[in-house]
């Protein structure tokens, strides 16, 4: 159903208003931008109780997990941006070929312009505020469309943004996919989208009509590869944490585990133990408030179907499997004997279910991983440097971590993003600043330039100069 005419007009009004304000923000100083970022940072710090309450209402996520994965993940990046923004904004001098002797060259970082941020529901606060900070740092106007599924957090985001920024700088529009469709039809200069590959394709299709630049942070099936020489107990704890935090609803969560057949049984025992230690056993899992729920019944049912289809096709649940639709609850679940062509191995799970598959040799790893498009991330656990090197060099992915999972997301010196199906473009820190900027190459020529020696009309002397230029430069 198309959006209401009044809302459509309001979106267009704000878009035009921000268009008229674009150049003022583009020309704003580093101190002006840092002042806005500090204001945003302080508002987040004083609003921690409200943030935790909103996220809890949406997910039943524990307060401390929210403080770490939503608040700290945002404030740490904002602090990083504030600390380095002056350096990022400075023109970067670059070398000039000797054939252009006397010239000088530099790269200017200018605002990309009007930006649209469309965020998902799985980390509803962080995945709005972190890219918003980058967009502000780069001197852009911004329209934000948070997810309609995380209603409480989205409402809080709108309240905070309306309080902090005038609408000709930043504005939030709440609503469903029709609101997102209306926004993506407008000629923004940049769209920053986080979500599924399916919706990412629609965003890219809409952006193409206006030749709008996009950053797409998508997903995919991110594997964990565990070699037989890995520290099994430590690996189990780290994988259990990264897989089951946020109820498995993390874009870079381990999607399935490839483990050497010699250590599988021992590892499974450690994995079950680690899961119980982190989130509770069968009797306490739902009571201790450490374990997140799924976002809605629709998502619950999609995960349940993946489990049921796998079991009906011969898979075995070796831990967990408890479900309650009324509570949107699926316990941390380990499953084995899954077929590579089953739905659970062909689709991103995005929930608390970990298929465990054994391998015998390196070629088998590559065969299994290559059944799916390039993942957003993959993880390798091993003490063997040669094995680690071979894995890193053989599997294309957006990012990787060695002997841990998920934690690379917290290093803002690393580029974060996918590759093809799992995403386009990079974000975080300086890489995110560049995503919201136009890198303008500038070359300055002196009064007397060697290039004039190569201007027409051409003769034998200039022909020799061309030959020398090609040969030596």
Picking from 409, 346, 353, 344, the residue whose alpha carbon sits closest to that of residue 377 is 409
In whole angstroms, give the CA distance from residue 18 to residue 273.
54
Q: Which two tokens stand for residue 405?
A: 């999972």
Per the annotation, the verdict on 251 as an active-site residue is yes
In whole angstroms, give the CA distance from residue 304 to residue 402.
31
Let me know if 470 is exposed, middle or buried by CB neighbors in 10 A (0-12, 13-18, 19+).
exposed
HSE-CB at 200 with a 13 A cutoff on CA atoms is 22
In whole angstroms, give the CA distance from residue 464 to residue 442.
30
Catalytic residue among 77, 169, 182, 217: 217
Three-class SS state of 226? strand
b/e sequence 38-53, b meaning 16+ C-beta within 10 Å:
eebbeebeebeeebbb
Picking from 307, 303, 243, 304, the residue whose alpha carbon sits closest to that of residue 279 is 243
Q: Which two tokens stand for residue 336?
A: 């084995």
Per the annotation, the verdict on 217 as an active-site residue is yes
- What is the maximal distance between C-alpha atoms in the chain? 91
In whole angstroms, give the CA distance from residue 473 to residue 467.
10
Query: Residue 295 region, left (φ>0) first, then alpha (ψ -120 to 50), else beta?
Result: alpha
Long-range pairs for 149-153: beta carbons < 8 A, 24 or more residues apart: 149/58, 149/121, 149/295, 149/296, 150/55, 150/58, 150/59, 150/121, 150/124, 150/295, 151/58, 152/53, 152/54, 152/55, 152/57, 152/58, 153/51, 153/54, 153/55, 153/58, 153/124, 153/125
Three-class SS state of 140? coil
In terms of DSSP bridges, do strands 256-260 and 223-226 run parallel, antiparallel, or are they unpaired? parallel
Catalytic residue among 70, 77, 182, 251: 251
Separation of CA 366 from chain center: 25
In whole angstroms, give the CA distance from residue 197 to residue 194.
9
In whole angstroms, give the CA distance from residue 2 to residue 293.
32
- Give the number of residues written for the chain: 473
Helix axes 264-279, 232-244, angle to 10 degrees: 50
Task: Report, as residue numbers or ranges, the catalytic residues.
Answer: 217, 251
């Amino acid at each position: 159903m198309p959006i209401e005419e009044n809302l459509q007009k309001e979106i267009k009004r704000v878009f035009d208003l921000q268009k008229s304000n674009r150049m003022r923000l583009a020309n704003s100083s580093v101190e002006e931008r840092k002042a806005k970022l500090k204001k945003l940072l302080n508002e987040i710090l004083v609003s921690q109780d409200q943030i935790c309450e909103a996220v809890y209402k949406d997910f039943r996520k524990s307060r401390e997990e929210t403080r770490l994965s939503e608040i700290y993940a945002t404030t740490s990046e904002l602090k990083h941006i504030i600390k380095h923004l002056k350096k990022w904004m400075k023109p970067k001098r670059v070398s000039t070929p000797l054939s252009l002797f006397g010239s000088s060259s530099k790269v200017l970082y200018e605002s990309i312009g009007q930006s649209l941020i469309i965020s998902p529901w799985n980390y509803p606060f962080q995945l709005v505020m972190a890219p918003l900070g980058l967009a502000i740092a780069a001197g852009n106007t911004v329209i934000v469309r948070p997810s309609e599924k995380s209603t409480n957090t989205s409402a809080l985001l709108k309240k905070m943004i309306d309080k902090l920024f005038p609408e000709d700088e930043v504005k939030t529009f709440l609503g469903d996919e029709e609101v997102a469709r209306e926004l993506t039809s407008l000629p923004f200069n940049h769209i920053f989208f986080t979500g599924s590959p399916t919706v990412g394709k629609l965003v890219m299709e809409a952006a193409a009509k206006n030749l709008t630049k996009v950053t797409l942070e998508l997903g995919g099936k991110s594997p964990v590869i565990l070699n037989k020489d890995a520290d099994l107990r430590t690996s189990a704890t780290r994988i259990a944490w990264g897989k089951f935090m946020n109820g498995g609803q993390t874009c870079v969560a381990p999607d399935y585990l490839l483990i050497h057949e010699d250590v599988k049984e021992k590892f499974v025992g450690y994995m079950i133990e680690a899961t119980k230690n982190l989130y509770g056993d069968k009797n306490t899992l739902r009571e201790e408030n450490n374990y997140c729920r799924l976002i809605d019944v629709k998502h619950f049912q999609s995960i349940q179907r993946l489990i049921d289809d796998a079991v009906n096709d011969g898979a075995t649940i070796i831990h967990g499997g408890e479900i309650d639709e009324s509570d949107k609850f699926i316990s941390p679940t380990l499953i084995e004997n899954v077929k590579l062509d089953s739905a659970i191995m062909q689709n991103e799970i995005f929930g608390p279910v970990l298929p465990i598959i054994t391998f015998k040799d390196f070629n088998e790893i590559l065969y299994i991983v290559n059944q799916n498009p390039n993942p957003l991330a993959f993880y390798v656990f091993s003490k063997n440097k040669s094995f680690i090197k071979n894995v890193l060099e053989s599997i294309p992915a957006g990012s990787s971590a060695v002997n841990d999972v998920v934690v690379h997301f917290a290093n803002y010196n690393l580029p974060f993003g996918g590759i093809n199906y799992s995403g386009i473009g990079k974000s975080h820190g300086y890489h995110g600043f560049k995503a919201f900027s136009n890198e303008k190459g500038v070359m300055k020529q002196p009064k007397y330039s060697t290039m004039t020696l190569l201007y027409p009309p051409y003769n034998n002397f200039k022909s020799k100069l061309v030959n020398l230029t090609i040969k030596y430069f």
